[in-house]
Structure formats: structure tokens, C-alpha cells
Amino acid sequence: MSDSGADGERVSPQQQLTVDYMQMAGHRSNVHGLVEVDVTDARERIRTIEEATGTKLSFTAFVVSCLATCVEEQPHIQRYRDWRGRIHEFEDVDVNVLIERETDGERIGIPHVIRQANQRTVRSIHDEIRRVETDTTDHPEPGPARLARRLPGVLRRQIWRLPQWFPTRWKRLAGSVAVTSVGMFGTGNGWAISPTNYTLQLTVGGIGTKPRLIDGELRSREFLSLTVTFDHDVVDGAPATRFVQRLSERLEASHGLDTAATE
């Protein structure tokens, strides 16, 4: 079967890897939780910080920070089971983030791993995201992409079995948890669901306005659509529910933004 489209253009190695990834991730026992989180106060706090400092502050960086600190509190959420049935649990939370960057005249999502995000401030994570977004230098093609050029499909897709075979190597290559922000490609609220090769993935959707009863008064609030995906073979329902609750609390409490203006 040809890798070319109707106009004769070949599918890029990155696109082919994405197709392979989705096929292999679809075999996992993923469970998706669709939640809405009131981020009105957090977004107002970010706007206040931007006015005070004169610099932007990434909402994605805030989400990554909250996620990482919650995983640090509940490290079993990023466990992996290898091919021998052994459980691997990590102290550091390495977050794979999809960052939009201009490449060859197009703006596409580039995966980037923010290492030890649980030990980083929101501003530090923001600065790293911005460096990746504005990086125009040519980087060597990643090892998986090079393999994609040479291997037949049945072998190429085995790349994405690394989490099940060798979790530690997978963490070094691609991080321990993932955040993908589909909201950055459009406006309005709404959820997105996709397979994942991670024990935990956060899919950040859009933000919409709706009423909420606060202190007996109906107020207009901003709600983030969030999809939290777990590998049910590793994480049970009760711990997953507690994790989502804790994450929602941190997001609503603007966790980590109290020091962002002074950094």
C-alpha cells in the first residue's frame, strides 16, 4: 500500500508515527473521565499577573504544574506494568506536552517532555514552553522517526509497545504522563477523547461560559472541559476518582499562581 495521498504527496514519518501510535494505543484498557472545572479565578489571576509583570503566562503551564503536583502526591497514578508483570513507579513527573510550533511554514503540535515538572514553578514551565514554541533551529530527526522510514509497518508499530515492555526507557524517551491541549487549535468549550499509551493523560479542551450558583447567587463562570484518561489495567476506579477530584481542586484554587508574579 502506498504512503502517498491523492496528490502524490508522501506521508511524513511524523504523521506515520501518529497513525501507528493511535492504532497501538487503541488496544489498551483506557477509561476516560469527562469533567468541567471552574477556572474563572485562575484565568483572572493569570490576567492580573500579566498586567503586573508585562509578560504573558501560559495557561497550559498552569495546568501542567497542577497535574505534576497531584501526581507527586499520588505517584501510583503514573505506574506502569512491564512485560514480566512488575510494577514500575517513578518519583519524578516528566510531562509530555504537545506544543504548537511553526515548522516548514505550518503550525503543528510538537511533543516535548518537561522533566521533573513536579519540582518546577509555573513560570519555569511557561518559559520552557515558550522556548520550544519560538525555537526555529533544525533539530536531528528523533530516533523513532528515523526507524519509521526504514521498518515495515508490523515492526514499526512495535515502537509503541515500549511502555509495556520497558517502562523506564519509555519514561526517558517520552515522559511518564501526557498533556495534550486541543483547545489551542480553536475556541469554545468541548471535550476531546483519544487513545493514549500513557497510564495517565490529560486532554485540555475548550473553555466556555455558563452560570454557577455561588453563595446563593447565580454568576457567570468560565469552565474548562477536561478529559482525564487512565489505563484501567494499572489504575483502579477509586484512586482515579480521588485523583480527578484533587486535580479539580488545585485548578479551581489557582494553585501555583500565588508566586508567579514575583518570579
Mean pLDDT to the nearest integer, 16-37: 70
Question: How sure is the predictor about 4, in pLDDT bands with cuts at 50, 70 and 90?
Answer: very low
pTM across the whole model: 0.82
- Which element (helix H / strand E) includes 201? strand 200-214
Q: Is 95 in a helix, a strand, or coil? A: strand
- Which element (helix H / strand E) includes 205? strand 200-214
Is 74 in contact with 245 (CB distance < 8 Å)? no
Return mean pLDDT, the chain. Answer: 82
> Domains of the chain (ranges plus CATH)?
13-262 (3.30.559.10)
Q: Is 143 in a helix, a strand, or coil? A: helix
Rounded CA-CA distance 219/213 in Å is 6
Between the alpha carbon of residue 113 and those of residues 131, 162, 171, 176, 229, the distances in Å are 13, 16, 9, 9, 18
In a 13 Å sphere around the CA of 150, the CA atoms on its Cβ side amount to: 6
Mean pLDDT to the nearest integer, 60-82: 94
Mean pLDDT to the nearest integer, 109-120: 92
CA neighbor of 118 nearest in space, from 255, 241, 20, 227: 255
Q: What count of other Cβ atoms lies within 10 Å of the Cβ of residue 199? A: 27
Do the strands 106-114 and 177-181 form a parallel or antiparallel pair, or are they unpaired?
Answer: unpaired
- Tens of pLDDT, residue by residue over 33-43, are 999 999 999 99
Q: What count of other Cβ atoms lies within 10 Å of the Cβ of residue 226? A: 22
Rounded CA-CA distance 26/28 in Å is 6
Is 125 in contact with 93 (CB distance < 8 Å)? no
In a 13 Å sphere around the CA of 222, the CA atoms on its Cβ side amount to: 14
What torsion, rounded to 10 degrees, do the Cα atoms 213, 239, 75, 116 define?
-30
Percent of the chain having pLDDT more than 90? 48
